[in-house]
Copies of this chain bind each other. A is one copy, B any other.
Amino acid sequence: MTTRTASRRRADERREYDAFMADCPARKLLDRISDKWVSLILTALAGGPMRYSDINRRIAGVSQKMLTQTLRTMERDGLLSRTVTASVPVRVDYRLTSLGESLLPLMAAVKAWAETHMPQVERAQAAYDEALAP
């Protein structure tokens, strides 16, 4: 019955997620994607699939624990897919899913904002600290 399906679909779309609510799932999702490693991994994968070791090299200073852990969470959330090529040695590739690609431009913009607005932020910090210790 298409009426049923259509009304079900409308009901689903009407379900409202609001990150301002403490126990909303969207709040936890927002928390998970609001992470510098997520930003960096997403933007690193912008150019296409990459091997684990390539990502590790691209993102300086990330421990392999945090990298693996973040990759797992992102995979579980459907942001990227993991492909193991059985060879010796093993080869593992990560690539963005369409879901991940939909998030990419947003996170890339945030990362770019941080890089381009550093001078203004540093000036603001200097002014703030100066006001406190005159």
Taking beta carbons and an 8 Å cutoff, which residues of A are in contact with B? Answer: 12, 15-23, 25-27, 29-31, 33-36, 38-40, 44, 58-61, 75-78, 99, 102-103, 106-107, 109-111, 113-125, 127-129
Contact = CB atoms under 8 A, between A and B. Distances in A.
24 contacts: A12-B119, A17-B114, A19-B40, A20-B59, A23-B61, A26-B115, A26-B118, A27-B36, A27-B61, A29-B118, A30-B36, A30-B40, A30-B110, A34-B34, A34-B39, A77-B121, A77-B124, A78-B123, A78-B125, A99-B120, A99-B124, A103-B110, A106-B109, A110-B110
B31 A36 contact: yes
A17 B77 contact: no
A99 B76 CA distance: 35
